[in-house]
Structure 1
Amino acid sequence: MLDLHYAPGNANLAPHMLLHALDLPHRLVLVDRGSDAHKGPAYLALNPNGLIPVLVDGDLVLYETAAICLHLADQRPGHGLLPAPGTAARGEAVKWLVWMATTLQTTLMHHFYPARVLGDAYLADHPDVTAHVSAHAQQQVGMLLGQIEAQLARHGGDWLLPGAGPTVPDYYGLMLCRWTRGFQGDASPPARTRPGLAPWLQRLLARPEVQRTWAAEGLQAPFI
């Protein structure tokens, strides 16, 4: 039995969707962010960074969402959520996953948490900088989403990588596109409004494993 330590709608969405897609028995362990449970000693013993999610698989404790996703997909390779190791297709899939985790997700975090870029003390003395950092990061997110649009258009398929079904980067991309649902202003529109992304996102939203994930976490529409 796998334990996924999660907070609703957090970065655990991608591994949670994979757990359902792979039919892996699992339990959800709620991390109460309202009481700062992720900063308490019990959680920090699992993840010293105090970030969510954490996956516990027997004696193995994993944090970093991309690492968790790779581990889960490799549990049942026959499901095709990642190409076979050593192939060019596997390299392409890992490239997109790592790009999403280290480039797109990081830029999104700069938008939502500018203090992580400059520090609370600096922002306290320069409150006008907060809005600038957030808006600039949002503009960068728009440029990065354009790379996903270009990839989908490049091969003309339904999913981020050529094939009959979604792979790990599709689920990860859906999670990150969800984070743009509240974007406002001219810096970058929400992902759901972009013509090159909307059909892809709707295909993912229609999948039963995605719907089960929203229901299990108690998420309400609009989902993206």
Structure 2
Amino acid sequence: MFEDFIYVLTKYDVWLWRGFLLTAQLLVISVAFGTVLAIPLAVARVSKKVSIQAVPFAFIYMFRGTPLIGQLFMMYYGVGQLVANIDGIQDHWTWTYLRDPYWYCLLTFVLNTAAYVAEIMRGGIQNVPGGEIEAARACGMTPFTTYRRIIFPRMWQMIWPAYTNDVIFTLKATSLASTVTLIELTGAARKIVARTALPYEAFISAGLIYLIIVYVLTLGFKMIERYLRRSEKRKDKLPGKIKPMGV
């Protein structure tokens, strides 16, 4: 078995490398755009007006309440089929992109990530101490400035561990892209199995790469977390109250 394992790593290293690159690409773009989209959704969710909350609530509820693989199939086989049936679309220059499953996968992962991150952010915004917000208003800060200088920095400090877990969840979710013919890391392993009939060696190789990615991500996010919590460490170093003489 060890010889087969080495054979897979050396013979099909290019397939695994390309699968890794596609996995990393899906992860980075999904997390980046999903996080940007989640910010206005989270702000709308904490609004006191029901009319403003309604749309983000429905969006978040739908994407958090349905399986990701179902969303992926609906996007690829549903939306993709509707697009393919548009008259003249296959002669248009956009068909080069619209027929590619990559874009449907990416859109699904972005929207799914946005829904989960928005809900995490909502909890973080609601847990920001009210005294800090009132102090910002007393200083004459506008709502935009209050969010930028007070609420968002405090929110990131509180939600960072949960955000880290969501990024790792998104990494593992990218493996579903292989169900719609994308050859990411899991898809590369399945392709190797079809070629060599060595399922254990192929999927163990892919699993080891996933573990390495998770380790690097966890290490990087911990460093960022220490940076975000630097203000709390400074508070801990401040001298305490001076005790009266004779106590």
- Both structures adopt the same fold (TM-score exceeding 0.5): no
Higher share of residues assigned strand: 1
Query: What TM-score, normalized by structure 1, do the two folds share?
Result: 0.29
Bigger share in helix: 2
Which has more radius of gyration?
A: 2
Q: Between the two structures, name the one with larger relative contact order (CA 8 Å, sep ≥ 6).
A: 2
